[in-house]
Amino acid sequence: MSEIKKIGVFTSGGDAPGMNACIRSVVRSSIYMGLEVAGIYQGYRGMLENNITDMNSRSVSNIIHLGGTILKTARCNEFKTDEGMELAYQNIKAANIDALIAIGGDGTAKGAEKFSIKYGIPVICIPGTIDNDLYGTDFTLGFDTANNTVIQAIDKIRDTANSHDRLFFIEVMGRDSGCIALRSGIAGGAEAILLPERDTAIDDLISKLEKGAQNKKSSSIVIVAEGDKNGGAYDVAKRVKEKFNYYDTKVTILGHLQRGGSPSSTDRVLACRFGYAAVKALLAGETRQIVGIRGNTIKLTSLYEALNLHEFKLEEDLLELTHILSI
């Protein structure tokens, strides 16, 4: 591995709150350690289109509180081809970039690993995704903020539900991961939570709602992860309404508002720690690793493990609490 003098940083895939705080940390940590740093706009597409700009400490002023990503993000199928990777490599070398820090989810990490193996460029990944579905870290960047956004929405919807004796089905993001649904459902006092990782029969859900009605509950909230096997919130609500009409039934799809907004304090601090750790890891000779937090300690996990083990499991005590606290 040659000496690293200049680092390139980029964001890719879906945006997540805290990405800007992380970019800031990478840029300023790099400069503090005597390195040059360049921002690659629009992720892998920016590599192909040579959309690369040198950055200094002032380039990241007043962004720690902003949602989204100042470096923009895009999906790029061309990068997956041999010709696309070759063009990206030539542009990276022309910009004198010796190593890369990639901020994003599993798709970003897959591209970074393949690119690093093919061309020998050191790469460290930072998990930036609201889904919290990457192996090697307890929490991904943006997950805490997304949860707080969902909880605020649940609180507001419950006010209306109580006023009108309504049953609300609230769909949250989580195609393959129920992390947002589980934690926001518990924090928001949901009567039921439907997760991709667990099968929930519609009849069982109806039975639970009937018990609540018998106990004089004035309203009910059901959280549905978008990847639940029963379908989205509209499908679930339709099937429930056919057999259970005690409440007036409504559906709310929270959608992309979960990705936006100013990052929470937790995500800002996590972003700062992740960015600093990524720069340190590169200077220590590490490559093809993902930065994570376990307990309260920053850890590195190989990209191979992070992308292939996928043994991220929902906490059993939280799953049990979904039943205990909703009676």
Distances (CA, A) of 42 to 10, 148, 266: 7, 27, 26
Query: Can you list the alpha helix ranges (DSSP code H) found in the chain?
Result: 19-32, 43-48, 82-94, 106-119, 143-164, 179-187, 202-214, 233-241, 265-283, 303-308, 316-324
| Paired tokens of 79 | 């990068």
- Confirm whether 131 is a catalytic residue: yes
* Placement of tokens 């997760």 in the chain: 195
Among residues 111, 86, 118, 139, the alpha carbon closest in space to that of 264 is found at: 139
| Count of residues making up the chain | 327
Catalytic residue chosen out of the listed positions 15, 98, 106, 131: 131
| Paired tokens of 46 | 């920016």
**Identity of the amino acid at 306:** A
Measured distance CA(286)–CA(191) in Å, rounded: 46
Among residues 160, 165, 164, 157, the alpha carbon closest in space to that of 233 is found at: 157
Active centre residues (catalytic): 131
